[in-house]
Structure 1
Amino acid sequence: MDVFLASRFTYQSRSNWRKILEEGKILVQGKPVKPSYSIKEGDEILYLPGESFEPPIQTDFQILYEDPYYITVEKPGDIPIHSAGRYRKNNLTDLIQEDPRFEKIYTIHRLDRETSGVVIFGKDPESASKLSDLFSKRKIQKTYIAFVWGEFPARLKAKGFLISDPSSLIRKKRKFVHEDSFRKSDVPEEDYETSETIFRKIGEGTFQGIHFSKVYCLPKTGRLHQIRATLYSLGFPLLGDKIYGKDEGTFLEFIEGKDPDLIAKLGMNRQALHSSSLKFIHPFTGIKTKIRSNLPKDFPR
């Protein structure tokens, strides 16, 4: 049971789920079960969480740009954008809405919890809808900066597909397959998405004894984990990435509560990916708009 819960609901580690089971908060067919219980087809599982405490987050976000329609925020590298998993109130959307100046904000796009940088919200449904439409039509130029292990090529175009990674022990992990080697007949239609990203090397150096490359990332599509999964599949994982890093065993240790030395194993405590700019034609004013965010202090220099 504890293995199933940890793999299916990754917001708790296996050791945490084991403790929850031992406290009698997981019921199967209405009765508490032990961590060693073997799940059977037709089992009805009920979780009685009781009072819960959310993990701490970084709350030092900055407002980069604001007008009557939008608010753009510089997101720190340890805060989810919206309520999910263990983060119910500790998320950027709720944090912004605690400010009396903003009655309600509307999510337009998302960044992973550990990705820092530019994120924009609508102040009303119409504003959010118009900019969301620009995102879906690929009329917003997004630029990211990544720090990766190894010697990255001067320029690289990755056009192909993102699919589930069947070789991984991590359920939500994806991998990139180049269009020249992808066969649609090998993958269920619902399990692949087109993906295109242009990468350009802009620097290199050494950090924590690791030789890294600094890379501009220009995604043409907007898929889940697109940049992270693509770089990993190309052989250049992000520094600090627990899921798409050099060793996925680090993530498995992490969710099991073993507290691995992330800096020693991955080079950083979080993934080295930063949303550095958004560029678009403002849907209400028609003005060319570019919003930039400087690299955070915890990144290599």
Structure 2
Amino acid sequence: MNRYESFRQIRTNSMISILEKSKKQKRFTHGNLFSKIKIFFEIQKNIYMKKHSNIRIFYESESFLFAEKPPGIPVHATKDSKRENFTDQLQKQLSLEYLRTVNRLDLDTSGLVFFCKNPDKNKEADQILKNSLKIYLCVTSGTILEKHFTETCYIKDGNKKVHKVFSGGDKAVTEFLTLKQNSKENYSVLLAKLHTGRRHQIRFHLSEKGYPILGDRVYGKNNESKLLLQPEIETENTILSSNLDSPNKKM
């Protein structure tokens, strides 16, 4: 099984939605890793977006929306006014009066973006994200032998990338769990849990360790067609639990 098949299989089996969390330590637990597999999303509808067809809506209610952002499109507007962004395009396609992004993804990262459709629900949306586990699935170059490790450093934003500093930077902490190694094809599949929310911190930590994410054009070798890094959001309960209002039935 190659790295792309491993990446697809892990996502298909929802192994990313999963980890039991120690409430005291707030870290990955050892033992039966996949004992609590939760499939909490089903695709509710597909919409067409210029240059990025078949945008998948995983959840939509009167107040909230989860959609899968493809790689190569920014979440928000950039300095280039002619460049399309995911939020504006989605708002136009769905004819929404209001759409606010709750979480953010890098340009080359694909995955779920959490939107608030009702300005009166902004605080509630922020609280949902704050109480969520922020877990990423990634495929790296090289065989990582460590099963469970944490990377910590201080970083500072540069023009296109972040840099490690010893003073004046922001602390970045990422916890990793290795799911699979393949020495023959020289790749590893990991889960990454954010303990801080710094720009590019997962990509930077893995690159500094010598295992850049495949497809990373900034911190890696740029020898893959896309960045193999995707985020998942899991709330303290289940993402479709009482934390969110009921999904729309008319889809």
Q: TM-score range by the shorter chain?
A: 0.5 to 0.7
Are 2:151 and 1:158 equivalent residues in the alignment? Answer: yes
Q: Of 132, 138, 145, which residue of structure 1 is paired with 2:137?
A: 145
CA contact (8 A) 1:281 1:288 kept: no
> Partner of 1:234 in structure 2?
209
Are 2:160 and 1:172 equivalent residues in the alignment? Answer: yes
Identity %: 27
1:101-129 Cα distance to aligned partner (Å, 9 max, x none): 52221111210111011111001223233
Q: Any gaps of 5 or more consecutive residues in structure 2? A: 1-49, 245-251
CA contact (8 A) 1:107 1:128 kept: no
Relative to structure 1, the CA distance from residue 200 to residue 80 in structure 2 (aligned partners, 3 Å threshold; closer, same or farther) is: same
Q: Distance in 1 between the 2:230 and 2:139 partners?
A: 9
Larger radius of gyration: 1
> Partner of 1:10 in structure 2?
none
1:80-111 Cα distance to aligned partner (Å, 9 max, x none): 11111436452111111123452221111210
Number of residue pairs the alignment of both structures matches = 192
Q: Any gaps of 5 or more consecutive residues in structure 1? A: 1-55, 166-170, 178-182, 247-265, 290-301
- Partner secondary structure for residue 217 of structure 1: strand
1:189-244 Cα distance to aligned partner (Å, 9 max, x none): xxx112111111111337xx951101111112111111111111111111111111
Q: Distance in 1 between the 2:162 and 2:122 partners?
A: 29
Q: Distance in 2 between the 1:218 and 1:125 partners?
A: 29
- Partner secondary structure for residue 98 of structure 1: helix
Q: Distance in 1 between the 2:229 and 2:85 partners?
A: 19
> Partner of 1:115 in structure 2?
109
Which is further off, 91-100 or 237-246? 91-100
Q: Distance in 2 between the 1:131 and 1:222 partners?
A: 17
What is the TM-score of this pair, normalised by structure 2?
0.68
Deviation of the 1:159 alpha carbon: 2.7
Deviation of the 1:78 alpha carbon: 2.2
After the TM superposition, which residues 118-133 of structure 1 pair with which residues of structure 2 at under 5 Å, given as runs?
118-133=112-127
CA contact (8 A) 1:203 1:214 kept: yes
Q: Distance in 2 between the 1:176 and 1:213 partners?
A: 24
Q: Distance in 2 between the 1:287 and 1:57 partners?
A: 36
- Partner secondary structure for residue 123 of structure 2: helix
What is the TM-score of this pair, normalised by structure 1?
0.57
After the TM superposition, which residues 237-248 of structure 1 pair with which residues of structure 2 at under 5 Å, given as runs?
237-246=212-221
1:122-152 Cα distance to aligned partner (Å, 9 max, x none): 01223233322454xx421111111111111
For 1:234, the aligned partner's letter is K
